[in-house]
Structure 1
Amino acid sequence: MTVNSNIMKAEEGCKMKRKLLVLIVVLTMIMALTGCSDDIGGVSTHTNKGLDTSLKRSTDMVVDTNGTLNIQRLARTETTKMGASGTWTIFVYMCGSDLESEEGLATMDLQEMLDASKSDKLKFIVQTGGSNAWDNDLVNDSRMQRFVIQNQEIEEVDDTSLSNMGSAETLADFLVWGVENYPAEKMGLVFWNHGGGSITGVCFDEQNDSDSLSLIEIENALTSVCPNMTDSFEFIGFDACLMGTLETANVIAPHARYMYSSEELEPGYGWDYKAIANYIGANPTASGADLGVVVVDSFYDACVAIDSGDEVTLSCIDLSKIDALVYAFNDVAETMYHSTDNTAILSGMVKGITSAENYGGNNKSEGYTNMVDLGSILKNVSVNVAGTDQVLSALKDCVTYMKNGTNKSDSNGLAIYYPLSIQGSEELSIFKDVCVSPYYMSFVDKMVYASDTNGTFDNYSDVDWLGADSIYWNDSYVAVAGADYWSNLDDSATADYNFSEEETAISFSVPPALNAEGMYGFTIAPDTLNYVDAVYCDVFVDSGDGETLIELGLDDNITSDWSTGSFEDNFTGYWVALPDGQPLASYIVEQGDNYNIYTSPIMLNDVETNLRIRLDYVSEEEYTIKIIGAWDGIDEETGQSAKEITKLKKGDIITPMYYSYNLSNDEEGMYIGDEYVFDNDPVLYEELLAEGDYYYSFQIDDIFGSSLYTDFEIFSLDADGGIYFYEE
């Protein structure tokens, strides 16, 4: 039975009933959501059912005068099942967004729920909204609707005025209504939409300027419904990208037994709801851990079936183990924080973090999520930091089941925020309220401070995060911590090119110049070599006006000697190009042991996106280059992540795009190349660039998040591939 066939039956008056359910949400709940009430949830018509309501948030991270972390969580003194034995209700908060209006993916998942085997043990309770259009005749994009799906039937049970799906009040209203009317022995909650990670959250409503639910808003809504429940949710899941983070798990830990979530992107098809429903129907007494295996396996199998399995991650997290993980991590974070004054150890730690598995792009072309795998970080910093084994063990205990693709082999189940590229004070201000460790917050804050002081920690104070007057995890604190140096980030956020050595922690013993062999290179001063995180080459071509340069991208194809700090160009005049010879502006996404993944800004069928490219090394001399697909990246304004890498089809039109830089006024722009029609062959080659003059610079990244560009050297490329540098 299809969604549309159900709609037709409704129009004929068969099996379709509309119930107008009136729910009075009292003022105290709204006050709690806005921080005006001291009671958790501010619940109204229900008793508190054994809850300790002394906390303002359902989790409180308290730092005592010795800097010791104490986790206090909302908890029940006793639990009582809310429904008959073996019954399940899964609440689906379905914010359709462009996933539905452009691709009909929400409708597909509604159909999967309908296609499941009949069972009296399971109900899906779905709230729809947040989309400009729906790909079926049942859901109205101008109304907020609620549906019950059971036994291959869909019944609309509520229809109200449209509300913002990115609002805590909307979520709380749905949950209070849902647990009141459809309680069960085991209940689950699914957030269906785009995700952006710990900073930007989930459920971006395209009818409300892509407003999303932050982690704090999710916590507020869950806290509001908690007194209406005598038991926790069996699971809370995120059918969305990038929400598999420690910050997310820590926020929802008081409210559920298990969390299902992905560290990386989720292909648009998302979870297999038919497989989930069929399993529950056949195994109604299953636990959240048992169901987690089915959610993970069916999702992974579906991704493999559409050739998207290599990038997949999905995990089932035991939330009862989160406290042990957070305490262990805080101990390691304390060591990290106190090691910042030792530049050698600090350098090793930061390089371990920046080289760890990360998610969602984190590059100039696609944007930044700053989500990094926690386990990968711990493994990489273990040489310099004691205690990582205990954290890794605690992490392993949390992850009851997981699967990841071959390109995500160092994924360990939960990511954590680290500012690979600091996006401004607002991002850090959000992080301070969800960071799981005061010492980790101090570590991040201290690194931000050093980015503003060119690598020095002089006059840094940690009083905001540690000690008797700590504002860590403190709702009463409104102003931005570290106001001076955090706000300076906003002033420099758009400055991609920094040619001033005075504005970084790096200095040279041999300044950038041509050597006697005609090679362009430099040597880092020994006392600042530890401050260097990475070195890349950056190649530009003159647009023809003598002052505007078109960037061809960043690459790691340079000659490096980290023991001496000497770096030299290894440019051959060849660049990755489309089959018609147009070079692709390429930026590194990921560096593996035997592969690199690049991204290139393009228009695909006249829509701006990014082309993902994979280079595999067969040997030192042999490699292959193939197109993976197109990915829209991270929305600069909202932080919303596109949900999948789209496979190209024969006949697709690829138009290369290039960032530009004006030498006269430092303005940046964008150049557009020529259209190329994709012939369904994903193989690319490095081609000799056109004869002419090119500008070559090194980008030197320091461990504090700043980048230094060396002065340009101009080289001439002749028709035979000969390269001649000359100074101007």
Structure 2
Amino acid sequence: MRKFMSAALVLAICVFTVLFSGSNVEAAVKVAPYTVLVYMVGSDLESNGGAATDDLIEMAAVGSTKNVNILVETGGTKKWNLPMISNKVNQRWLVQKENIKLLKNDLGNRSMGKQSTLQDFLVWGIKNYPAKKYAVVFWDHGAGAKGFGYDENNSGNDPTLSIKEINGALKAATAASKQKFELVGFDACLMGNIETATGIMDYASYMVASEELEPGHGWEYTSALQALNKKPTATGAEFGKAIADGYKKQATSQGTVNQITLSVVNLAKVSAVNTAFENFIKKASNDIKDPQRITAVSKARVKAEDYGDAGAHGGTTDMADIYDIAYNLKSIYQTEANQLMKSIKACITYKVTSDTKPNANGLSVYFPCKDKESFKDNLKEYQNTGYSKNYQKFLATYVDGILKDTTPIQLIQADPKAGGGDSNSLFSVQIAPEDIADINELYSVLAMPCDEEGNTIMYLGMNKDVELDPITGIVKENFTGTWTTLGGQIVSMYIDEIIDDNYVTYSIPAKLNGESVDIKVLYSEEYPEGIVLGAWKGIDEKTGMPDKDIIKICTGDEIIPQYYYYGVTDDLGGYVNGYVDGEAIKVGDELKLEVVELPEADYLYGFYMTDTAQNSSTSEFVTFNIKDGYITVKN
């Protein structure tokens, strides 16, 4: 849902379009308690939905006052929804009450992914609108340790700001002002990480950022700016808390509160986190050449809370909560893990979390896990963050160990009718004894044959209805002959994340009003029947940026479930694969998830597992038939 401009604001906008188009207005002003500088890279968030416009309207609901100057640089999008903002050149604005006033119109088309563009804006703002305290807000996409923003007008001309470039611009700006920024905030996905916090800690007192993706509405600026005007002496911690509280309130009203994280980081205490992290890594670095210890570290990483995963359509940012990683390894590195967890708690002054991310403790870190094919390339890119050389060496050693292990889990195929010695089990496999301790993930797989020969199959997805005997290695099913429907239609379900069995999130591949998405679903103690959180477009293959917008599914929307298929086409190993569409679902007043008995048909059942080196294995499929409520194994 998007906010709409009031008639007064539209009128004011049109008036200033006439008065200030093509002009450059810079006026000396008195020293204010605060100047807030918003670096607004419109990108596709504006051109495809007007999200930047929405937030400008929220800012203009308060406007600049004697206490707070609000300055904005706009650029980086092919289309602005406000008629006076140009998509051809960068512009600078003073946000006023129910209005925005053009200050500079001669900047040209500068890439907002260049350090020089950001640096010039910050230095200009500090010089022309001096204040006792400064805050800067970065508005756009975020990609974790890979950086911030994507200028769609300059896709071939350095469209993204790296952490190093952000640091360089902040350094120059603080030299100009002779003081640190009171607050640096990222109204963007995934920027609540240790790499960013470390990069800016010398140039700011507090950071506000999200570990996880942000919903499309982002921050709620009206209440945050009202709070700042009410207390213009506010510290960055107090201003940050107002931002976080407004963000949560808006997310609650828009139905996205189950998906949010936001933390207020005391940057003065980041050094202590880094010292504790270095000690933790030093201890682990001595161990990861040992196969048993690298197994323990890998399992701890897999269990840690992840951010920015793209679900059924693939892709991942490999960002994970640092505290959660330490917690999962405290039985091995007790002293180091406890000190790291303690330092993180002391560093986070305030945070908001959600049902889907209960273990978001405030700071994430890049730790390779799922994107195995890109590990080497990503590590090379990671060097550009400038973060800890010791951690980079640790990751290089860890990745080398993971990549050297290319042997998948070995299976001893049990008699499916015997159930591995358990008459109550229809389907089972047995893992080779030497591989039992190496299991990281273990799920069941349900599919359907598309032809009599079984050459092509269609997947219905994965579930966690499996049980592993850690002594014998026998994996047994707990299959009930039921599956999940959405809007009355059986859908394909893929597990995103399992957190202590209390929270399980799934992705359902689908088309929403014609666009490919993953529909995000949560099962938890609060929602035992499941709840639809919304839809997500995933990670853009061209830009590498995760989509910011968790799309709210509304009455009247059309959902077409999709099912992945795979088939062998000839004796030489040729194959076909892709997605096939199901029947359209017209969303009514309520979009329900229900568990129903599977229709009478032939099905395929198997087991999917990964080891600590992220090698995957899928068992042989067992064919079974459901008829008259009975499950009959056919082979």
Q: Which residue of 2 aligns with 1:428?
A: 379
> Please, what TM-score do these two structures have when normalized by structure 1?
0.79
Contact 1:690 1:717 in 2 (8 A): no
The verdict on how the C-alpha distance between 1:673 and 1:167 changes in structure 2, with shifts beyond 3 A counting, is farther
2:86 to 140, 146, 153: 140
Deviations, residues 429-469 of structure 1 (Å, cap 9, x unaligned): 12233374444333332332223321xxxxxxxxxxxxxxx
Unaligned runs of 5+ in 2: 1-5, 420-424
1:169 matched to 2:116? yes
Range that drifts further, 517-526 or 286-295:
517-526
- Deviation for aligned residue 1:512: 5.4
Deviations 1:653-699 (CA, angstroms, capped at 9, x unpaired): 11011222223424432222221111232221123334333333322
Q: Give 1:314 deviation, angstroms.
A: 0.9
Residue 496 of structure 2 aligns with an amino acid whose one-letter code is I
Give the deviation of 1:399 after TM superposition. 0.8
Instruction: Confirm or deny: 8 A CA contact 2:312 2:494 kept in the other structure.
Output: no
Tell me which moved more, 246-255 or 515-524. 515-524
1:514 aligns with 2:416: yes
- Kindly indicate whether the alpha-carbon contact (under 8 Å) linking 1:369 and 1:639 is maintained by their aligned counterparts in 2: no
**Which residue type is aligned with residue 627 of structure 2?**
A
Stretch of structure 1 that moved more, 322-331 or 550-559: 550-559
| % same residue | 31
CA separation in 2, counterparts of 1:177 and 1:412? 36
Q: Using structure 2 for the length normalisation, give the TM-score.
A: 0.90
Report Cα offsets for 1:395-423 as digits up to 9, x if no partner. Answer: 11211111212332221111111122125
Residues 1:646 and 2:594 aligned together: no
Contact 2:31 2:129 in 1 (8 A): no
Report deviation, 1:283. Answer: 1.7
After TM superposition, list the pairs within 5 Å mapping 1:218-229 onto structure 2: 218-229=166-177
Match of 1:403 among 349, 352, 356: 352
Aligned partners of 2:183 and 2:208 also within 8 Å: yes
Aligned equivalents of 1:337, 1:122: Cα separation in 2: 48
Q: Alignment partner for residue 531 of structure 1, among 438, 442, 445?
A: 438
Is the CA contact 1:267–1:645 (under 8 Å) kept in the aligned structure 2? yes
- Alpha carbons of structure 1 residues 439 and 522: separation in structure 2 relative to 1, 3 Å: farther
Separation (CA, whole Å) in 1 of partners of 2:628 and 2:460: 20
**Cα RMSD (Å):** 2.7
1:626 and 2:531 matched: yes
Residue 286 (structure 1) aligned with residue 237 (structure 2) = no
Q: Is the 8 A contact 2:162 2:384 kept in 1?
A: no
Over 3 Å counting, the alpha-carbon distance change for 1:650 and 1:364 in structure 2 is closer
Aligned to 2:45: 99
CA–CA distance in structure 1, aligned partners of residues 525 and 567 of structure 2: 36
Question: Counterparts of 2:525 and 2:202 in 1: how far apart (Å)?
Answer: 47
1:251 Cα shift? 1.3
Equivalent residues of 2:29, 2:128 under 8 A apart: no
Distance 1:260 1:557 in 2: 39
The corresponding residue for 1:7 is: 13
Query: Partner of 2:278: helix, strand, or coil?
Result: helix
AA in 2 matched with 1:184: A
Per-residue displacement from partner, 1:186-221 (whole Å, max 9, x unpaired)? 11111101212112x221223334932222332233
Match of 2:160 in 1: 212
Q: Distance in 2 between matches of 1:418 and 1:194?
A: 21
Q: CA deviation at 1:609?
A: 0.7
2:609 is the counterpart of 1:700: yes
The 5-angstrom pairing of residues 39-58 of structure 1 reads none
* Letter aligned with residue 536 of structure 1: Y
Distance 1:436 1:373 in 2: 16
Contact 1:122 1:150 in 2 (8 A): no
Instruction: Say whether 1:123 aligns with 2:69.
Output: yes
Quick check: 1:374–1:415 contact (8 Å CA) kept in 2? yes
**Matched letter for residue 163 of structure 1:** R
SS in 2 for 1:646: coil
Contact 1:367 1:635 in 2 (8 A): no
1:153 Cα deviation after fit:
4.4
Determine the structure 1 residue equivalent to 2:448: 541
How far off its partner does 1:126 sit?
0.5
1:183 to 130, 134, 154: 130
Q: Residue 681 of structure 1 is aligned with which of 590, 597, 602?
A: 590
Structure 1 pair 551/380, CA: closer, same or farther in 2 (3 Å)?
same
Question: What is residue 305 of structure 2 aligned with on the other side?
Answer: 357
Pick one of 363, 368, 377 that aligns with 1:414. Answer: 363
Summarize deviations over 1:374-406 as a string: whole Å, max 9, x none: 111111211122311111111112111112123
Alpha-carbon contact 1:97-1:131 (below 8 Å) kept: yes
1:541 partner SS: strand
Determine the structure 1 residue equivalent to 2:581. Answer: 672
1:94 partner letter:
M
Query: What is the total number of aligned residue pairs between the two structures?
Result: 613
User: How far off is 1:592 after superposition?
Assistant: 4.6
SS in 2 for 1:682: coil
User: Retained in 2: the 8 A contact 1:585–1:658?
Assistant: no
Q: Which residue of 2 aligns with 1:600?
A: 508
By how many angstroms is 1:7 displaced? 2.3
The answer as to whether partners of 2:356 and 2:503 remain within 8 angstroms in 1 is: no
Give 1:343 shift. Answer: 4.1
Q: Superposed, which structure 2 residues align to 1:63-78 within 5 Å?
A: none
Once residues 556 and 539 of structure 1 are traced to their aligned partners in structure 2, the CA distance between those partners, rounded to angstroms, is 11
1:203 maps to which of 143, 149, 167: 149
Secondary structure, in 3 states, of the residue corresponding to 1:90? strand
> Match of 2:627, SS?
coil
Query: Which of these residues, 542, 548, 551, is aligned with residue 459 of structure 2?
Result: 551
**1:476-518 deviations in whole A, cap 9, x for unaligned?**
xxxxxxxxxxxxxxxxxxxxxxxxxxx425334x345535247
* Residues 190-199 or 544-553, more deviating: 544-553
Change in 2 beyond 3 A, CA 1:563/1:384: farther
Matched, 1:264 2:173: no
CA contact (8 A) 1:86 1:285 kept: no
Amino acid at match of 2:589: N
- Does the 8 Å CA contact 1:558/1:569 hold for their aligned counterparts? yes
Going from structure 1 to structure 2, the CA distance change for 1:579 and 1:7 (only over 3 Å counts) comes to: closer
Determine if contact 1:90/1:188 at 8 Å carries over to the other structure.
yes
Structure 1 gaps, min length 5:
22-81, 455-502
Query: Equivalents in 2 of 1:181, 1:615: separation in Å?
Result: 52
- Tell me, yes or no, if the aligned pair for 1:167 and 1:212 is still in contact at 8 Å: yes
**8 Å Cα contact 1:345/1:384 also seen in 2:** no
Residue 276 of structure 1 deviates from its aligned partner by 2.3
